A and B are shown apart, each in its own frame.
Chain A
Amino acid sequence: MNKLTTAFQKNRSYLTALFLSIVTALILGAILMLITGYNPLAGYAAMLKGVFGNSRVFGNTLAKMLTLCLTGLAMAVCSKAGMFNVGGEGQLFLGGLAATMVGVCLEGISPIIAVPLAFLSAAAVGGFYAWIPAMLKVKLNVSEVITTIMLNSVAIYLCTYLTNSGGPLLTDDRGVLGGTEAVPDPFMFSQLIPRSNLSTAIIYSAAIAFICWYVMKKTTMGLEMKITGENSRFAFFSGLKKDKIMVLAMVASGAICGLVGMFEVYGYQQRFMDSISNEFYYDGMLVAMIMNYNPLGIIIMSFFFAVVDIGAGAMELSIGISGELSDIIFAIIIFLMAAEGGITKFLNERKARKEAQK
């Protein structure tokens, strides 16, 4: 507890800024609702009701939080080592599809064998898809930002082709609707809250989050990643295997994204559809950026994001305000936080100037 207080004091100005940014963003969101002719109080009330109204929606919120938390950590893991994986969306699609196909093909086999194999395949495929841009970056110095964005589109179009009419992985039992065969019931994670999206994936997610935190904060690997991310020339100079560290961080990031894809399917969707993710990874990225890639911060902030995101969806259904309001609020928080750094510096300089004039 004592440690927590010191951590709080150390980051006091950051946390204050964060709090003020969130409040301001919510106010700006309210103003936007007013301008477009809605009652913001009714909007936010609908939002809260959509999150805390009953155990089912709250379960959905927690499930959403898991997704955001894991994608946020995936972003944090690679950016700590100086790599920007913008391609989590594609890794999520391919990982989800791979895990689904493993499940479908292994029907009848004991879950004790099949489910771990699904884990393995999701992580391997997601990791491999991140390995490509990582190698291009490390060996040829091709910007991973652009290549991962391009690979997103490639993966999504490919999955769309494979699982829709004319595609080889399309199921026969859904008529015109796309999607693969269903994962056999025994392989599915058990639900924690009936009829909600919350499953035992939460346990696996907690384990992944713990590992991320431990590696980043407590191990030689974490230290080496940090040094590589901050100054890769210094890392090379100091004898670190910086290329290996960067590739590894990127592959880990991709593997996590692959697992997120699997959790979506094995948690509740049960079959792979091209609607598996609605830019989940981008939201996770925003969470990670706002929290400065701090693992603990990401876990906390993803709850807030989940509330706004699920709440906004409910708001759209109940009173017709577009759910995209959540994206607007998230972006505003980032702008304000980014501005905060500059504003603080500006204020400090002015203060120094005033002091000198005294």
Chain B
Amino acid sequence: MQESIVKFEHVSMQFPGVLANDDVSFDIKKGEVFALVGENGAGKSTLMNILYGINKPTGGNVYIKGKKVEKYSPSDAISQGVGMVHQHFMLVPSFTVAQNIVMSKEPKKMGIFYDLKAADKITENLVKEYGLEVDGKATVAEISVGLQQRVEILKTLYRGADVLILDEPTAVLTPQETEELFQVIRRIVKEKEMTVIIITHKLYEVMAISDRVGVMRQGRLIGVEETKNVNERILASMMVGREVLFDNIEKTGTPGDVQIKADNLYVADNRGLMAVNGVSLEVRAGEVLGIAAIEGNGQSELLEALTGMRPVARGEFFIQGEKSNGKTPGQIRELGLAHIPEDRMSTGVSLQSTITENLIIGKQKESAFSKYKTHLKQSSIARYAEELFEKFDMRGSGVETRVGDLSGGNMQKVVVAREFSFDTPTLIIAQPTRGVDIGAMEFIHKQIIAKRNEGCAILLASADLDEVFRLSDRIITLYEGKITGEFKAGEIDKMGISYYMTGDRSGGNGGQEGGAENE
């Protein structure tokens, strides 16, 4: 148990303009579950990418099983027994599960040909040996996210990994799937003598699964502790360098008229499969309706349909009382809707354009910003951008910075600043704080509640259950494109709601509505 299997010695990583790791030194012991925690951008993933050989450190050394790493490449790390399950899965969607598992170490026949049958057989044996059930012949694109994660783990096991790095493994899982994953971790550590490094920022998971925990902040290692000697509060203050106490944001006013209404809505996904199956909902002025759902259960398609980004297959929806099927996003915006999209990089901003340009778009034809709707008034546009830059607390070298050069948090502030300054009576918000640090998250949450208190009707979807609970007045759960439950704030807790998120309408305990039993 005390033998050191991985050792970091004064490791530093300098990216252009960013010092991602700054003189980090610590050991990981054989057979332990080591949790690495820190805020977004603290340098956890960078450090693990170094261990896995994706990045070569700009300073310091790494030792694996007592041997100094000379050549940094994934294939060398793999041969040393290091395996990594990335936050974004590293699977080829059109290949089968088996083909993904054996990739780079394919069984061959006649020297050069790929033995596809042997690959299936290998997968079958691995599934049996580790008890991670999954169909080897299924195409990866067709299986659930939870199963894809199993494929990732099997992939590393097939390569003979005994040090397993899991990068944010629970971000896409339900509480139940998380529990199953933890059981797998405990079993492989105990039975196969593996070492597991888990990167996370969910502190209760650290407490639940790890033996020791290392905390990182701004590229530095703040400390390594035995998990039993710390609690969530201590870890949180180590992470942010101060005591974190989320203020209670005051909610005022009473709900008014219905502003957003969907009636038996069906929406197809990109492949033509039905992702939203008959959803009806209403959002009133001055309330936040939160959608709690695991990724891929139709919430993205639902919000895209309601904002005009995706066609509706059947059913109707109304924005401000006006039927909006078949309208373009532009026409729906004119009815009084603003939208924070799920994926800010591909939908919410233009990366090559400046902050100013990203803030002004949508308002460029207003008389304050252009003459005769054509000639741009450059100076008043610049002034307006400066104002928003201040008001939304953006950091960076001014409004002429390219948005692509901003951090995730600042980029999201650009989106929020633009959309909120349309002053619309309705808002549709998806993943408002994904990949955003705690400071910016707090700021954005306050802005959302301020809008609510002003009487705005807000529909919110987030993969972060804490966020949904904190901001919503009412919560609906979606499972496979259907609404499985509806609750008032405070009526249900996180464990209880997770049953509804997995399609169990009884709330997990035989029909007792609300499902608020003990965790």
Residues of chain A whose beta carbon lies under 8 Å from any beta carbon of chain B: 218-224, 226-227, 230-231, 233-241, 348-349, 352-353, 355-357
Contact = CB atoms under 8 A, between A and B. Distances in A.
Pick the most buried of A222, A226, A230, A238: most chain B CB atoms within 10 A of its CB: A238
Contacts of B59: 356-357
A230 B16 contact: no
B362 interface: yes
B361 A238 contact: yes
A294 to B, nearest CB: 14
A220 B377 CA distance: 10
Contact of A237 (B348, B352, B357): B348
A248 to B, nearest CB: 14
B14 A223 contact: no
Contact of B309 (A223, A237, A357): A237
A238 B329 CA distance: 7
Given A220-B365, A241-B330, A230 B376 contact: no
Contacts of B14: 352-353, 355-356
B351 A236 contact: no
30 contacts: A218-B375, A219-B375, A219-B376, A220-B370, A220-B374, A223-B357, A223-B361, A227-B350, A227-B357, A230-B352, A230-B353, A231-B351, A233-B346, A233-B347, A234-B346, A234-B347, A234-B349, A235-B350, A237-B347, A238-B329, A238-B361, A239-B328, A239-B329, A239-B334, A240-B361, A352-B14, A353-B14, A355-B14, A356-B19, A356-B59
Given A223-B361, A226-B357, A230-B350, A237 B341 contact: yes
A353 B58 contact: yes
Contacts of B113: none
Given A218-B375, A356-B14, A236 B329 contact: yes
B436 to A, nearest CB: 19
Pick the most buried of B15, B17, B364: most chain A CB atoms within 10 A of its CB: B364
Contacts of B351: 230-231
Interface of B: 12-17, 19, 58-59, 307, 309, 328-331, 333-334, 339, 341, 346-353, 357, 360-362, 364-365, 370, 373-376
Contacts of B350: 226-227, 230-231, 234-235
Contact of B12 (A224, A230, A356): A356
Nearest to B18: A352
Nearest to A354: B58
A299 B328 CA distance: 38
A194 B16 CA distance: 58
A253 to B, nearest CB: 20
B346 A219 contact: no
Contacts of A223: 357, 360-361, 364, 376
A170 to B, nearest CB: 46
